Amino acid sequence: MFEWIILAVLAAVILYQLYATLGRRVGRQPEDAPAAVPANAPALDVKAPELAVDALSGLAALRARQADFDVGHFLAGARQAYEMIVKAFAAGERDTLKPLLAPDVMANFETAIAAREAEGRTEKAEFMVPPRTDLDSITVEGDVAKAVVRILAEVRTRSTSAAGEAVDDRRTADLWTFERDLKSRNPNWTLVRVDVAEA
């Protein structure tokens, strides 16, 4: 009987080690691609273990100021803003971009749009799959909240110029920083920074 107990303990240890080694998924998996969020879908809260440590501490600070802040709802809005901004930038729609961007970000976008127009080139962007958004970090400094969102996307850009039409398919990984004045009645967040995410 004692030998059976020893064997059972060893088997349990081996199974645990196998799970610890093989049971974890590293990086993004194909099935991780988010489904499209219906307009009337209820907000889904993201469980704390899925957030980075700095996002957790920042989330508590933000909820102390805005108790109804919901991570799932925020990320759905960030994804919609990302799609709208990328498409508007490609189409050169300045009026769409201006209320969504901080002035310095808008100035950079404006420079790129003007350069493209000077070349006589037009673009149209579309998404091959819905972009994935993950909350990377949240900070609250004074009355200003900042949320960094990691965005993975597959974008197809159709470019038309005097030389003809070209199609560019690419995968992107970016960190977009959104900012909001917690004293403002305006619930919308503004894009204040765009960075390329590290691989």
- What is the fold, at CATH topology level, of the domain defined by 51-196? Nuclear Transport Factor 2; Chain: A, (3.10.450)
Q: Which residues of 174-195 are buried (b: 16+ CB within 10 A; e: fewer)?
A: bbbbbebeeeeeeeebbbbeee
pLDDT averaged per 10 residues in sequence order, the chain, 199 residues? 44 39 37 38 37 73 93 96 98 97 97 96 96 96 96 97 95 97 94 90
Identify the pLDDT of residue 198.
80
Q: Where are the domains of the chain?
A: 51-196
Q: Give 177's strand partners.
A: 148, 193
Identify the pLDDT of residue 57.
79
Identify the pLDDT of residue 130.
95
Identify the pLDDT of residue 167.
96
Identify the pLDDT of residue 48.
37
Identify the pLDDT of residue 51.
65
Identify the pLDDT of residue 56.
67
